[in-house]
Each structure stands twice: as structure tokens, then as C-alpha cells.
Amino acid sequence: MSSSANPPAPASGNDFSSLRTEIVESEKARIDLLKYKLVAIAALGAAGLGLGSGSDPSHAGGHPLYVLCIIPLACLYVDLLCWHNTLRILVIAKFLKGRNDPYENFVAQLGKGSFDMEDWALHCSTIAISAALGIWGLVELGKVLRALIRTGAPMRAGLLTTGLVFFVTGALGVFLSLFMESRYRRRETELRVRADDTIADNKGA
């Protein structure tokens, strides 16, 4: 029988140690990305609102309020990187579980969702910020419509444009966040199933 048909030899302790190190580094990277997300939100928010500039944010440097529209995109970018790291951790954890790693077997007994709170903070923060931006847009549009209904005054192009841009950006941010989260969950489920099938095949070999 050729060597290619033989099941893979169990990994050595050093290999397990290196995989453990990779999990720790990936988790550290996730935490750093969450920090960068908060920093990006704060920096873009301060720039868009003109905090500390002592001037009207709607006139300083053109339309800096529109800088706020970058926040959902920045959040989505960080979310994708965090989800990528989560999948990397999942694959390594499944590999270690297939090698009867005591800790991974213990975590598997706890059930899926034991460490989901960080994912909630990651995902819900993006949706909340996008929704807030969209609601702001609706409020601006409401001001224009109320002025038109009550006084018959022509619509202010600035308020109308700001309202539309904020509403569309916020709605798009919520939609993309939900869409990408669903894709991530589907990919996670696929990896779990394929990893469990591979583990079962290796044990039966």
C-alpha cells in the first residue's frame, strides 16, 4: 500500500504548541481590530461633526458631515477581517479536536455559542451605527417636508441632499452588514460540517 493512502500521523507536541500560538495570535489580532474599529468610529465621527474645530461642521471645508458616511464602510471592513480570523481559529480548533486535544474536546461539549458575545458586539455595533445614520437622514428629510407642507417654502437643496445621502448610506450599511453576516454564518457552518466529516473519515480509516 502506498504511503499516500495511510492516515496522517498525529501531530507532535511542538506542532500543537505552534497551532495554539496561532490561535492566540489570531485572537489578539481580532481584539486589535475591535480597538481600531472604535478609533475609526471616533475619529471619523469627530471629523464629520467638526468637534474641536470651533466651527459649523456643515460649512468647514465643504461638506465634512459626509465624512460620517465612511463610518459604515470602515466598520464593514473591520468586520470582514474579524470574521476571517474567526474562521481561521475555527479550522485550527477543529484540527486539534480531531487529534483529541483535551481543551477542544471540552469546548465542544459546552456547545456552539459559548464565546459569541464578542461577535454580537462586532456585528451589532455596525448595524446600530448604520441605522443611526439612516435615521438621521430621515429626520433631515422630515424637516424639509414639514417646511414644505407648513409654509410652502421651496426645499433646501442642502438639507434634502444630506438627508438622502445619510438615509441611503445607513440603509446600505444595515443591508450589507446583515448580508455579509449571513454569508459568514453560512461559511462557518460549511467549515464545521466539512471538518467534522474529515475527522470522522480519519477516525474510520
pLDDT tens-place string over residues 23-47 = 889 989 999 999 999 999 999 999 8
In a domain, residue 116? The reply is yes
Please check whether residue 83 lies inside any domain of the structure: yes
DSSP character at residue 154: P
What percentage of residues in the chain have a pLDDT greater than 90?
38
- Tell me which residue range forms the domain holding 131: 12-204
From 81, 98, 107, select the one nearest 194 (Cα to Cα): 98
Confidence class for position 155, pLDDT limits 50, 70, 90: low
Task: Flag whether 4 is in a domain.
Answer: no
Domain membership of residue 6 (yes or no) is: no
pLDDT beyond 90 at 161:
no
Domain-located, residue 58? yes
Residue 198 lies in a domain: yes
Domain-located, residue 162:
yes
Q: How many Cα atoms within 13 Å fall on the side-chain side of residue 99?
A: 16
Instruction: Map residue 101 onto helix, strand or coil.
Output: coil
Residue 2 domain-assigned (yes or no): no
The count of structural domains within the chain is: 1
The pLDDT-based confidence of 54 (bands split at 50, 70, 90) is low
